Chains A and B, each alone.
Chain A
Amino acid sequence: MTGLDPRYWRQRLGLLAVADLVDVLVVQCRVEWLHPRYRELRDEIDEAVFRLLARRDDVAVRRIVLHNLPSPLAGTAPGELATLNGAHADWTYRMAACATVLPPGRRPEVQRLIVGEHQPPPEIDDCLEVRTGTGWSDPVAAEAALTLQRRAGATPLTTYDVEPDGPFGDADPSVFL
């Protein structure tokens, strides 16, 4: 499996600056996103998306990511799967936390594709597509992604798991004694 192409993603991020933007669709379902070497790129994309939402309230952002990693995962050592799962949990939490900070009207809609046990990863191409007044930047890719998301099981990312007050021990450190 080839790696991710940073040039494609950085070039697509430039589309977010368009004035008549209406919709943004970001699909990031490949397991490579969880590797440390793509962390910087992933952070850039996340920041760009949230910055867009912080600036504009007339754009709808939809993201499609994995809910869980395929198990067993081809091409990984046993310890590596635990690391990838940790990275996945961290990423999911940070997305939810950042969404919590923004007002309800400015949050991305994040759908998480559920991968059944012993099933291969979903066949969906990662992409970043935008819809302006003239339509989707790549209508075929956008339609494929949206269709797959409707057909496969997907659960939305909510902010319920994010504790707004932070860890309990901050308020009362003596609990750790």
Chain B
Amino acid sequence: MVLLLIAWMVPQQREMVLDSAQFSLALFAALLTGEAVIFAISFSASSTWPSLREIDEHIAFREWVVVGSVASLLTAYGFLVEADVPATYGALLFLFVGIFGMFSFVRLFNLASTSGRKKMLRQTLDRALAAFTAHGADLRPQMSGHPVITAFLGQLDESAARSDSNGISALVEELADDSAQGRHGPATTALHLQVLHRIVKAALVGKLDAVVAASASEAVVDSLLRRADAVRASAPPRAASATDALPTAVDLGTLSRYLAWLANAALALSTRNVSASGTARELIAMTVDARLRVLRLVDPDPPNAAGAQEVGTPLTAPGSVLSWIWAYTQFHGAHQAAGMYAVHEILTGTKFLGNYWDGASILTRLRAALFDPDSDLDTQQAAATRVHFGSVAAFDHLWTLMSVDALATLRDRRAAHPPELIRPEFTPDPRLLGAYVHTFASHRYAANAEEALDALIRTVMRPPSPRPAWQEVRSASDAIGWAVPIPATGPHERLPGCVLALAGRLAPLAPRESSRELERFLDALSPSVLRATARLAARTLPVPSGAEQDEPRTAILDGLQVLQLVGRHEEQSG
């Protein structure tokens, strides 16, 4: 508008305007041609990532062309009606358009290089993710139709289908934010999980190369862990309010549960020759390693900590660490027995000094330390945990519910476990299975069959308490749970798991202990549920094949003997 003023005050003659406009128009045409050439070389018309709209926003192409057109129209009009002011204004505008064009051209050159393009795409993705404000179950519809997200995922699918490793790594780099200053909301986690799942699925049942998939998925997991780590670094050392730590807990929990499921699914597909065993091997190795990293992140004092950056935990509140461990122990997840050490430390502020291979029970000690009248534990964390649970009945109920989900999702033992897929913490070793089951089975609060039956009724009828806290967990999980393909199932829908969870709590833990109460408990159940429980035991515990049909009760008793593989009584009796 300054230009309009100048043109008004000092209109030029037609010849001078004409000469100036000719030069400017030539520059305009040259820049336009240059941009068209670069467009044609660097960007494909069919690509939606980056889409023309994003490029246009970055280089302000549309605005530039519009202003240039206005300038030329004004000049032409000025010549037509022999008015000097519009013609001069048009010529001046053309000068401005020339500068604008050079700026746009330089920006386009930046985009044509890979690093410039990555930067622009990362910013586009950041902006899109920051715009999602929905919570809970409303997030999914908001994210599903969004053009930027759809374009990104579409590009990912295309690169995966062509097994284009450069494409996939570029896309993952755009998503992962090295500086960890990007958005931390549920939308970011949901997108990470979706990307992870698509890469993994393309590797297992599609054509994506296994090594590319493994390194790309590691990068995605890394990015998620960095975000959680940023929360850890900023979390105060004492127990914070539950709502601060909850989104991180839900993120880490959903990720851990997904990784455990992935390992089992990869094993199953590999043994059925749907996936190559090399692919399964890579992915299983990735999941076991990633789960260990999650555990080290949550553990306030991991073994062999490399320094201050590994000490401390993002899950400082009892509700958040409980929601994390509930997800961490599902699907026969690796390192779950070790995860209980972190839980003990976060809930009580003290370390658990026993060893679960010796038969030491973290839950028993936790229960005694928190709720025994003569317990001398008075740390701040213990006080917060007691307030969270409210009563020992709520404590028992919650851990029973967790054990239902853990037991019901154990791996199928009847299928072969090929040697190339065996890794530490991912083996068919019955002793490791015994340790995982022992974690929950050693948590004893029912002295006899009647009390166990009461507990069973409570497990089926009641949700976990305190209810408002678990509603929040549910809402936070709903916000990102749809990004992984595993449905959320409650313990009450897993009746055999409920029975087995309580049966384990009556089963003998040492060779000479009596199984009478366990037998009485099983006898009090309906035949259909008893048979279903026997089927679960035959699938997940070491039971002679076929036994579950002939003698369901014996099958369950035999299967629960796996508990006796853990503990020192072996050496004492042997």
Mark A residues whose CB is within 8 Å of B. Answer: 36, 39-40, 43, 46-47, 50-51, 54-55, 93-94, 97-98, 100-104, 162-167, 169-174, 176-177
Kindly state the separation between the CA atoms of A163 and B494 in the bound complex, as whole angstroms: 8
Task: Out of A98, A165, A173, name the residue touching B496 (CB < 8 Å).
Answer: A165
CA distance A166 to B496 in the complex (A): 7
Find the A residue at minimum CB distance from B404: A166
Q: Does B535 contact A (CB under 8 A)?
A: yes
CB atoms of A173 and B461 under 8 A apart: no
Contact A100 B529 (CB under 8 A): yes
B487 touches A101 (CB 8 A): no
Q: Knowing A97-B460, A164-B496, say if A177 contacts B526 (CB, 8 Å).
A: no
Chain B residues in 8 Å Cβ range of A98: 457, 460-461
A102 touches B526 (CB 8 A): yes
On whether the beta carbons of A177 and B265 are closer than 8 Å, the reply is yes
Which of the candidate stretches B4-12, B242-250, B448-456 sits at the interface with the other chain?
B448-456
CB-defined contacts of A47 to chain B, threshold 8 Å: 454, 457-458, 461-462
CB of A165 within 8 A of CB of B535, answer: yes
Judged by a CB distance under 8 angstroms, whether B261 is at the interface is yes
Residues of A within 8 A of B204 (CB): 177
* Residue of A40, A103, A167, A172 touching B494 (CB-CB under 8 A): A167
Q: A94 CA to B461 CA in the complex, in Å?
A: 6
Check A103 against B526 for contact (C-beta < 8 Å): yes
Contact yes or no, B268 A173, CB < 8 A? yes
Chain A residues, CB < 8 A from B458: 47
Please name all residues of chain B whose beta carbon is closer than 8 Å to the beta carbon of A167 when the two chains form the complex.
487, 489, 493-494
Contact A101 B461 (CB under 8 A): no
Kindly report which residue of chain A lies nearest to residue B528, judged by CB atoms.
Answer: A164
- Asked if residues A170 and B461 are in contact (CB atoms below 8 Å), the reply is no
The reply to whether A174 and B264 form a contact with Cβ atoms under 8 Å apart is: yes
Q: By the criterion CB–CB under 8 Å, are B261 and A176 in contact?
A: yes
Known: A170-B408, A176-B486. 9 other contacts (CB 8 A): A47-B458, A51-B454, A93-B493, A94-B461, A98-B457, A100-B526, A164-B496, A173-B486, A174-B265
Q: Separation in Å of the B196 CB from the closest CB of chain A?
A: 13
Q: Is A177 in contact with B201, judged by CB distance below 8 angstroms?
A: yes
Chain A, residue nearest B201 (CB): A177
B497 at the binding interface (Cβ < 8 Å): yes
| Chain A neighbourhood of B498, CB < 8 A | 101
- Known: A36-B467, A177-B269. Contact between A93 and B456, CB under 8 A? no
Name the CB-closest residue of A to B490.
Answer: A90
Residue in A43, A162, A164, A176 whose CB lies within 8 Å of B461: A43
Residue of A at shortest CB range from B532?
A164
- Could you list 10 examples of A-B contacts with CB < 8 Å? A51-B454, A98-B460, A101-B457, A165-B496, A165-B535, A166-B536, A167-B493, A170-B408, A171-B412, A176-B485
Contact A174 B268 (CB under 8 A): yes
Are A101 and B485 in touch, CB under 8 angstroms?
no
CB distance from A20 to the nearest CB of B (A): 21
Query: Do A164 and B268 contact each other (CB < 8 Å), given the known contacts A97-B460, A100-B495?
Result: no
Hey, which chain A residues are within 8 Å of B496, CB to CB? 164-166
Question: Could you tell me the distance in whole angstroms from the C-beta of A50 to the nearest C-beta in chain B?
Answer: 5
Which residues does chain A contribute within 8 Å of B265, judged by CB atoms? 173-174, 176-177
B268 touches A162 (CB 8 A): no
Task: Tell me the dominant secondary structure on chain A's binding face.
Answer: helix
> Given the complex of chains A and B, what is the CA–CA distance between A166 and B525 in angstroms?
16
Asked whether A97 lies within 8 Å of B487 as measured between CB atoms, the reply is no
Q: Which listed residue, A55, A97, A174, touches B495 by the CB 8 Å rule?
A: A97
B residues apposed to A, CB below 8 Å? 201, 204-205, 261, 264-265, 268-269, 274, 331, 408-409, 412, 450, 453-454, 456-458, 460-463, 467, 485-487, 489, 492-499, 524-529, 531-532, 535-536, 539
Whole-angstrom CA separation of A40 from B539 in the bound complex:
36
Q: Which residues of B contact A51 (CB under 8 A)?
A: 454, 457
Contacts of A46 in B (CB 8 A): 461
Q: In the docked arrangement, what's the CA distance between A162 and B535, Å?
A: 16
CB distance from B488 to the nearest CB of A (A): 11
Please list the 6 inter-chain residue pairs (A to B) with the smallest Cβ-Cβ separation, ordered nearest first.
Answer: A164-B532, A174-B268, A174-B265, A166-B494, A176-B485, A50-B457
Report yes or no: A176 in contact with B487, Cβ–Cβ below 8 A: yes
Q: Is the CB of A173 within 8 A of B526?
A: no
Q: Closest approach, in angstroms, between the C-beta of B517 and any C-beta of chain A?
A: 15
**Chain A residue contacts of B486, Cβ below 8 A:** 169, 173, 176
Contact residues in B for A163 (Cβ distance below 8 Å) = 493
Nearest A-chain residue to B460, judged by Cβ? A98
CA distance A173 to B456 in the complex (A): 26
Min CB distance B208 to A, Å, is 14
The residue that A173 contacts in the complex, of B331, B467, B497, with Cβ under 8 A, is B331
Q: Shortest beta-carbon distance, A104 to chain B, in Å?
A: 6
Q: Are B526's CB and A169's CB within 8 A?
A: no
How near does chain A come to B199, taking the closest CB pair, in angstroms?
13
* Partner among A94, A164, A166 whose Cβ is within 8 Å of the Cβ of B460: A94
Q: How far is the CA of A85 from the CA of B300 in the complex (A)?
A: 43
Q: Which residues of A contact B497 (CB under 8 A)?
A: 166, 170
In Å, the complex CA distance between A50 and B455 comes to 11
> B456 — which chain A residues lie within 8 A by C-beta?
101
For residue A96, which residue of chain B has the nearest CB? B460
Among A55, A166, A170, the residue within 8 A (CB) of B450 is A55
* B460 and A173 form a contact (CB under 8 A): no
Interchain CB contact under 8 A, A177 and B532 = no
Q: Please state if A94 and B492 are interface contacts (CB–CB under 8 Å).
A: yes
Within the complex, the shortest CB–CB distance from A51 to chain B, in Å, comes to 6
A174 to B485, CA, bound (A): 10
Contact A50 B331 (CB under 8 A): no
Give the complex CA separation of A20 and B453 in angstroms: 23
Residues in chain A near residue B493, CB distance under 8 A: 93, 97, 163, 166-167
Q: How far is the CB of A174 from chain B (nearest CB, A)?
A: 4
- Is there contact, CB below 8 Å, between A171 and B539? yes
Shortest A99–chain B CB gap in Å is 9
Instruction: Give min CB distance, A37 to chain B, whole Å.
Output: 10
What is the CA–CA distance of A164 and B265 in the complex, to the nearest angstrom?
A: 23
Q: Which residues of A contact B494 (CB under 8 A)?
A: 166-167, 170
Q: Output the least CB separation between B377 and chain A (Å).
A: 29
* Chain B residue contacts of A169, Cβ below 8 A: 486-487, 489
The residue on A at minimum CB distance from B407 is A170
CA of A98 to CA of B524 in the docked complex: distance in angstroms? 13
Report the minimal beta-carbon distance from B445 to chain A, rounded to whole angstroms: 16
Which residues of the partner chain B approach A50 to less than 8 Å between Cβ atoms? 457, 461
Cα-based distance from A46 to B492 in the complex (angstroms): 14
Structural contact, A174 and B412, CB atoms closer than 8 A: no
Set of chain B residues within 8 Å of A54, measured between Cβ atoms: 450, 453-454, 457, 524
Residues of the A chain whose Cβ atoms lie less than 8 Å from the Cβ of B409? 170, 173
